[in-house]
Amino acid sequence: MKIILNIQRFNPDTDTGPYFQEYGVEADPNERLLDALMRIKRFQDGSLGFRKSCAHGVCGSDAMRINGRDGLACKTLVKDVVEKEGETITVEPLRYLPVQRDLIVDQKPFFTKYRFIKPYLINDEEVEGKERLQSPEERMVFDDTTNCILCAACYSACPVLGEKRGFVGPAAIAQAFRFIADSRDRGRDERLQLLDNKTGVWPCQNHFKCTEACPRSILITKRINQTKELIKKHQR
């Protein structure tokens, strides 16, 4: 079938601001949106800029806004969009991150916030040449949060970041929870302290947009609320 991709373009070397360009392209309904983008790039316009790598939803490179919803181009099938919303698909870069070129955004602010919450196991206790024990139940407490691919779809979907750009954002909090809730970790208090302030967990107003956007089905909003509860319990 023929579809039209209406893509936001911007080249900082030559353009004063972003604009939209339409591309008509043949696409099978069962194809990924990424396949259509690749067909444009390889056979129509090599100057179209976007990131991609694994092409099946595990590397997090191709998060973008597709008809106003944040998601991965490789996990969005053409038919899923076209059947409900027609054959013109609007494609934009993620929000709240500086656009570097077309659909490519500067991920540094996102990763700076991720690094801020100390995203690594904190535990200096000696281990005697084997694994630390953890029951299957303890392991399941934080299971979904380990799926995060740091694609930033949740970050772009969050309405709070539109008003409070300093907000640490959904992904960083979910990753803080991933370690706080890990029975092997000893960094709970320092992470909770990092998040107990006006750029930490408290700006979240339970819009659930992050949870809806997450291509890895992480219950982000729930994890944020659990983190809030832990702060109330342990910090106050």
Cβ neighbours for 222, distance < 8 A, ≥ 6 positions apart:
211
| Min CB(37)–another protein separation in Å | 11
* Residue 211 to residues 44, 54, 106, 163, 173, Cα–Cα distance (Å): 35, 22, 23, 19, 13
- Closer Cβ to another protein, 32 or 223, answer by number: 32
- Closer Cβ to another protein, 16 or 127, answer by number: 127
Q: Are 75 and 57 in contact (CB under 8 A)?
A: yes
| Min CB(125)–another protein separation in Å | 10
- Closer Cβ to another protein, 79 or 207, answer by number: 79
Neighbours of 107 (CB within 10 A): 21
| Min CB(121)–another protein separation in Å | 3
**Where on the chain is the footprint of another protein (CB under 8 A)?**
11-14, 30, 32, 41-43, 45-47, 49-61, 75, 77, 100-102, 104, 107, 111, 115, 118-121, 127, 129-136, 139, 142-143, 146-150, 179, 182, 184-185, 217
DSSP conformation class of 105: E
Query: Residue 213: enclosing H or E segment and its boundaries?
Result: helix 209-213
| Min CB(50)–another protein separation in Å | 7
| Min CB(53)–another protein separation in Å | 4
Q: Are 92 and 71 in contact (CB under 8 A)?
A: no
Q: Are 18 and 8 in contact (CB under 8 A)?
A: yes
Single-letter amino acid code for the residue at 19? Y
Query: Residue 71: enclosing H or E segment and its boundaries?
Result: strand 69-72
Query: For tokens 């949060």, what's the residue?
Result: 145
- Closer Cβ to another protein, 68 or 136, answer by number: 136
- Closer Cβ to another protein, 177 or 228, answer by number: 177
Q: Are 54 and 99 in contact (CB under 8 A)?
A: no
- Closer Cβ to another protein, 149 or 161, answer by number: 149
